[in-house]
Amino acid sequence: MTSRERMIAALTGTGPDRLPVSTHHVMSSFLTRYLGGASTEEFFERFGLDPIRWVNENAADASRGEYLDPDHQGAFLEPRRVASDRWKVTTESVPDPQYPTVRYTFHTPRRNLTMVLQSDEHTSWVTERLIKDKGDIEVLADCMTLPLCDVAAVNRIAQKEADRSLLRGTVLCFDVYGQPGCWQDAAVLYGIENLILASYDDPEWVHAFLTILRERKLRFAESTAGARFDLIEFGGGDASSTVISPQIFESFVAPYDAPVIEALHRAGQRVVYHTCGGMMPLLEMIASMKPDAMETFTPPSMGGDTDLAEARRRLGDDVCMIGGFDQFHYFAGCSPEETRAAVRRCFDAAGEGGRYILAPSDHFFEAEPDLIAAYAAEARACVYG
């Protein structure tokens, strides 16, 4: 099997030849520090991992007066931004003694909104939330653009890959910095602590906020019809059980995310629901939304709660599991033999039946190359049949 065929076999339950083994995002800081600036493609080839190619390509709906922003300066993992005469984003640097800091101003006819991001060599984070007053969501509803998927651009990349890599995309995140899931996007824009409190103090407002974000994501999901993605990511860590209760998930996450998954399926797409953090109290609720796969199955040793064998037992063969590997403890500071043993434990716990893709529990920034090599080699030795 090719790598793409192997991973699709795991996603669809048709039986891979061996355990598929990959990773999530390959971070540029890792490539620079440990591999001399190698490309992502060179990373996968060097270690014999099953490669993933991330593709996020936006298109603008000209009938709405929208266009691709010619002045776009991309933020962390952001595709080309869509602008209009009612929704423009400008940037300015903010002096800071420690981190590069940028203020983003969203210009609208109603009023301007601002968001501030900081960055280091590894990643970026929000230091000023876009939604500061509850009335700000009315600005979003009235003025924000509704980007579409650029199907032609996605398919050009799919053609170029020629079956080498699994093509992964994401559901539309909010401009500048966001998350694929509805609740998770709202958490970025308003702050997770504020959002949790509002779910108790003003649930009607939270439902209104989530509805606005869901409608934008639904339109994007519908526009993916014909795009040759192999897998589209949805969800995010702010809906994990180490952040919110199952009751909040049931009331404020599932009712908004499930329709987007349905729309993606109608568009012919496969969906992976991403929950980096606790998952065990939520397994059945996530599975009931009918994603094709779930990730990241973070173990307790990394601050999660996953028992891989128990998760496999409860989920059965209805969904592909992705993740479960402890990259903190087995990509650094141990022997290759310990890394290999950790791979085997994951395979023994979740690999039966073939609906499992071994991967770290989300991305990593630090790792010893010889341990990644051991991880990949042991996974390749985990065969079926």
| C-alpha–C-alpha distance, residues 220 and 6, integer Å | 28
Beta bridge partners of 271: 232
Question: In the structure encoding, which two tokens stand for residue 103, read together?
Answer: 């203020």
Residue 332 neighbours by CB under 8 Å, 6+ apart: 366, 367, 368, 371
Task: Give per-residue pLDDT as tens, 52-83.
Answer: 999 999 999 999 999 999 988 776 678 999 99
**Residue 41 belongs to some domain of the structure:** yes
Number of domains, the chain: 1
**Residue 96 belongs to some domain of the structure:** no
Task: Give per-residue pLDDT as tens, 115-154.
Answer: 999 999 999 999 999 999 999 999 999 999 999 999 999 9
**Exposure string over 144-173, b if 16+ CB within 10 A, otherwise e:** bbbbbbbbebbbebbeebeebbbbbbbbbb
Task: Give per-residue pLDDT as tens, 2-36.
Answer: 999 999 999 999 999 999 999 999 999 999 999 99
Whole-number pLDDT of residue 75 = 66
Q: Do 51 and 44 meet the contact criterion of CB atoms below 8 Å apart? A: yes
pLDDT tens-digit profile, the chain (385 residues): 999 999 999 999 999 999 999 999 999 999 999 999 999 999 999 999 999 999 999 999 999 999 999 988 776 678 999 999 999 999 999 999 999 999 999 999 999 999 999 999 999 999 999 999 999 999 999 999 999 999 999 999 999 988 899 999 999 999 999 999 999 999 999 999 999 999 999 999 999 999 999 999 999 999 999 999 999 999 999 999 999 999 999 999 999 999 999 999 999 999 999 999 999 999 999 999 999 999 999 999 999 999 999 999 999 999 999 999 999 999 999 999 999 999 999 999 999 999 999 999 988 999 999 999 999 999 999 999 7
**Residue 101 belongs to some domain of the structure:** no
Range of the domain at 43: 3-84+131-380
Whole-number pLDDT of residue 78 = 84
**Residue 91 belongs to some domain of the structure:** no
CB atoms within 10 A of CB 346: 28
- CATH number for 175: 3.20.20.210
| C-alpha–C-alpha distance, residues 118 and 101, integer Å | 4
| C-alpha–C-alpha distance, residues 24 and 12, integer Å | 19
**Residue 109 belongs to some domain of the structure:** no
